[in-house]
């Protein structure tokens, strides 16, 4: 289960990437000679020969870095955005590594040629992956790998697991069945030690769908059933998985330490240690300042468009909850009519679970220019100022409205333990299609797995998500 391709295809991918790096080196050497006529590029002779070892080192470094970023891991990157964003980060690291090798060993290598090689190699790696995904999607029979999964569980844990498996595996699923132990009343008066009826019904359901895998998704108060079910299925030729419900512990950053072979779970480890906080702030200041300079002409154009279409004011300043509950004014380009907040009742409604939804696709308060700005997230650009001021980060949980933050349960307040961000794990996994305050677990995942590399990956993935326009309104 949860495998995109075979080991043979992973080996094929490694060989193909290495071959494309070599192809880039040979082909761009020819293209580089054509650029001799460009005034700001130094002239090199036709047919120039570089050391043979470079043609060995370049492909090896490239595939090694990609492997370090798990590009060839068959259990990751089921979504194209995930794969391309990680591939982009890995290619950048590989390029820097190759540049470092040249600096230390062979500085005579043409810088323009090096840039052509890494750009062309990256594009080839992207294109062949997109091509294979298209081929696999068109040939649907290659997508159906015979995976028939039974989820044995209860309540919200079962529903959450079912939703995640559908999103992750998609068309690869031949069948996804569920068995709710509580709804079927097969655990009513039984204890885990005496449950022949329960085990029998699980086995019957496995046989009915000819399951290849069983996922056990139970709440903690039924955890004793996990061992019983797993032991009963031990004789069957299928995979057995356990979906752990750890989100109730998300009031703290958990960290496991080993004490003479005994694992200890630290529930009070800081979300960001001092070192990580300094690195994150330096990264934010550098990237936000550079980005603000680069997009300043675009900011001027958007300001004029908003002014002409919707009038003054151009910006919309709204109180939001920042790190540790501190309030600040978040800056955005105005995308709604002036009296939008007083008309909130026009769009506010409840979903099927009774949760309040504040944002809809057909919001009548959004201006003409606002639809375009939201489509490409251009309304968020002024928040670079919030980042420079230290009120926000480039990547982090989205800053919440005070009215919603006041209704948080205890475990949800964990998302306020780090600086809020312009983009984050929640946005690149659905944007407006997923309601922020109902998906706090995405922000908790980011907090628990924070690294500067994760920030960089999310930023690059954000670019892909915006280009594709997924979930923006």
SS3 readout for the chain: CCCCCCHHHHHHHHHHHHHHHHHHHHHHHHHHHHHHHCCCCCCCCCCCCCCCCHHHHHHHHHHHHHHHCCCCCCCCCCCHHHHHHHHHHHHHHHHHHHHHHHHHHCCCCCHHHHHHHHHHHHHHHHHHHHHHHHHHHHCHHHHCCCEEEEEEECHHHHHHHHHHHHHHHHHHEEEEEEEECCCCCCCCCCECCECHHHHHHHHHHHHHHCCCEEEEECCHHHCHHHHHHHHHCCCCCCEEEECCCCHHHCCCEEEEEEECCEEEEEEEECCCCHHHHHHHHHHHHHHHHHHHHHHHHHHHHHHHHHHHHHCCCCEEEEEEECHHHCEEEEEEECCECCCCHHHHHHCCEECCCCCEECCCCCCCCECHHHHHHHHCCHHHCCHHHHHHHCCCEEECCCCECHHHHCCCCHHHHHHHHCCCEEECCCHHHCHHHCCHHHCHHHHHHHHHCCCHHHHHHHHHHHHHHHHHCCCCC
> Across residues 385-405, what is the average pLDDT?
88
Does residue 251 sit within a domain? no
Q: How many residues does the chain have?
A: 473
> Tokens standing for 275?
């070192």
Check which CATH number belongs to the domain holding 176 and give it.
3.40.50.1860
> Across residues 318-347, what is the average pLDDT?
79
> Tokens standing for 446?
């980011």
* Tokens 């204890």 sit on residue: 191
Predicted pLDDT at 343: 64
Structural contact between residues 405 and 440, judged by C-beta atoms closer than 8 angstroms: no
79 and 203 together in one domain: no
Distances in Å between the alpha carbon of 67 and those of 1, 71, 354, 437? Answer: 21, 6, 45, 35
Distances in Å between the alpha carbon of 402 and those of 320, 326, 328, 334? Answer: 6, 10, 10, 20
* CA–CA gap between residue 35 and residue 133 (Å, rounded): 35
**Which of 57-61, 72-76, 131-135, 186-190 has the highest mean predicted lDDT (pLDDT)?**
57-61
Does residue 450 sit within a domain? yes
Domain count for the chain: 3
pLDDT range class, residue 430, cuts 50, 70, 90: low
Predicted pLDDT at 82: 80
Q: Is pLDDT at 89 greater than 60 in this prediction?
A: yes
Select from 111, 140, 169 the last residue of a domain: 140
Does residue 187 sit within a domain? yes
> Tokens standing for 112?
């323009």
- How would you classify the pairing of strands 239-242 and 262-269? unpaired
Does residue 259 sit within a domain? no
> Tokens standing for 362?
């057909």
Predicted pLDDT at 293: 92
Predicted pLDDT at 4: 66
92 and 170 together in one domain: no
* CA–CA gap between residue 408 and residue 402 (Å, rounded): 10
Domain that holds residue 413: 274-468
> Across residues 329-355, what is the average pLDDT?
69
> Across residues 103-108, what is the average pLDDT?
85
Select from 140, 159, 174 the last residue of a domain: 140
Predicted pLDDT at 300: 92
Does residue 2 sit within a domain? no
191 and 54 together in one domain: no
pLDDT range class, residue 444, cuts 50, 70, 90: confident
Predicted pLDDT at 153: 85
* CA–CA gap between residue 68 and residue 201 (Å, rounded): 44
Select from 100, 121, 140 the last residue of a domain: 140
Phi-psi region of 261 (alpha: psi -120 to 50; beta: other; left: phi over 0): left
56 and 122 together in one domain: yes
* CA–CA gap between residue 22 and residue 202 (Å, rounded): 53
Does residue 445 sit within a domain? yes
Q: Is pLDDT at 286 greater than 80 in this prediction?
A: yes
Q: Is pLDDT at 98 greater than 80 in this prediction?
A: yes
Structural contact between residues 365 and 379, judged by C-beta atoms closer than 8 angstroms: no
Does residue 253 sit within a domain? no
Averaged confidence pLDDT in the chain = 77
235 and 116 together in one domain: no
Phi, psi of 149 (to 5 degrees): -115, 135
More confident residue, 260 or 109: 109
**pTM for the whole structure:** 0.54
> Tokens standing for 327?
């309030």
* CA–CA gap between residue 313 and residue 302 (Å, rounded): 13
310 and 383 together in one domain: yes
pLDDT range class, residue 188, cuts 50, 70, 90: very low
pLDDT range class, residue 127, cuts 50, 70, 90: very high
99 and 217 together in one domain: no
Predicted pLDDT at 68: 87
> Across residues 327-355, what is the average pLDDT?
70
pLDDT range class, residue 143, cuts 50, 70, 90: very low
28 and 172 together in one domain: no
* CA–CA gap between residue 308 and residue 364 (Å, rounded): 19
Q: Which of 186, 196, 387 is nearest to 287 (CA)?
A: 387
* CA–CA gap between residue 416 and residue 256 (Å, rounded): 22
15 and 136 together in one domain: yes
221 and 289 together in one domain: no
Predicted pLDDT at 262: 57
Instruction: Write the burial class of residue 268 (CB in 10 Å: 0-12 exposed, 13-18 middle, 19+ buried).
Output: exposed
In this structure, the number of other CB atoms found within 10 A of the CB of residue 451 comes to 11
pLDDT range class, residue 252, cuts 50, 70, 90: very low
40 and 122 together in one domain: yes
Structural contact between residues 335 and 366, judged by C-beta atoms closer than 8 angstroms: yes
> Tokens standing for 469?
């326009």
166 and 30 together in one domain: no
Does residue 388 sit within a domain? yes
């Amino acid at each position: 289960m949860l495998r995109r391709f075979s080991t043979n295809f992973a080996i094929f991918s490694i060989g193909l990437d290495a071959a494309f790096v070599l192809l880039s080196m040979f082909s761009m050497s020819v293209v580089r000679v054509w650029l001799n006529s460009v005034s700001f590029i130094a002239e090199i002779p036709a047919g120039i020969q570089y050391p043979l070892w470079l043609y060995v080192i370049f492909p090896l470094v490239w595939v090694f870095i990609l492997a370090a970023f798990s590009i060839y891991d068959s259990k990751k990157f089921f979504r194209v955005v995930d794969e391309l964003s990680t591939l982009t980060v890995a290619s950048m690291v590989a390029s820097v590594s190759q540049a470092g090798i040249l600096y230390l060993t062979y500085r005579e290598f043409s810088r323009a040629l090096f840039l052509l090689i890494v750009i062309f190699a990256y594009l080839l790696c992207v294109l062949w992956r997109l091509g294979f995904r298209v081929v696999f999607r068109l040939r649907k029979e290659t997508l159906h790998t015979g995976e028939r999964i039974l989820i044995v569980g209860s309540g919200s844990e079962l529903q959450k697991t079912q939703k995640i498996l559908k999103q992750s595996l998609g068309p690869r699923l031949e069948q996804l069945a569920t068995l709710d132990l509580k709804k079927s009343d097969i655990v009513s008066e039984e204890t885990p030690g005496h449950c022949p009826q329960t085990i029998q019904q699980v086995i019957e359901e496995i046989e009915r769908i000819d399951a290849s895998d069983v996922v056990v998704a139970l709440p903690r108060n039924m955890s004793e059933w996990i061992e019983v079910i797993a032991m009963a299925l031990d004789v069957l030729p299928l995979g057995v998985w356990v979906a752990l419900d750890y989100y109730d512990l998300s009031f703290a950053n958990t960290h496991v330490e080993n004490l003479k072979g005994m694992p200890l779970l630290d529930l009070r480890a800081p979300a960001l240690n001092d070192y990580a906080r300094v690195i994150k702030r330096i990264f934010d200041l550098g990237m936000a300042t550079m980005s603000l300079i680069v997009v300043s002409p675009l900011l001027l154009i958007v300001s004029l468009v908003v002014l002409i279409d919707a009038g003054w004011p151009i910006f919309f300043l709204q109180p939001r909850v920042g790190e540790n509950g501190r309030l600040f004014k978040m800056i955005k380009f105005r995308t709604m009519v002036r009296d939008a907040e007083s008309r909130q009742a026009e769009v506010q409604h409840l979903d099927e679970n009774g949760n309040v939804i504040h944002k809809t696709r057909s919001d009548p308060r959004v201006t003409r220019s606002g639809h375009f700005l939201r489509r490409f997230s251009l309304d968020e650009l002024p928040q670079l100022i919030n980042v420079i001021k230290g009120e926000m980060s480039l990547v982090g949980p989205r800053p919440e409205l005070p009215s919603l933050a006041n209704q948080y349960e205890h475990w949800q307040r964990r998302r306020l333990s780090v600086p809020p961000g312009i983009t984050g794990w929640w946005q690149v996994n659905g944007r407006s299609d997923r309601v922020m305050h109902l998906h706090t677990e995405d922000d908790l995942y980011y907090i628990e797995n924070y690294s500067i590399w994760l920030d960089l990956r999310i930023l690059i993935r954000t670019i892909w998500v915006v280009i594709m326009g997924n979930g923006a309104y």
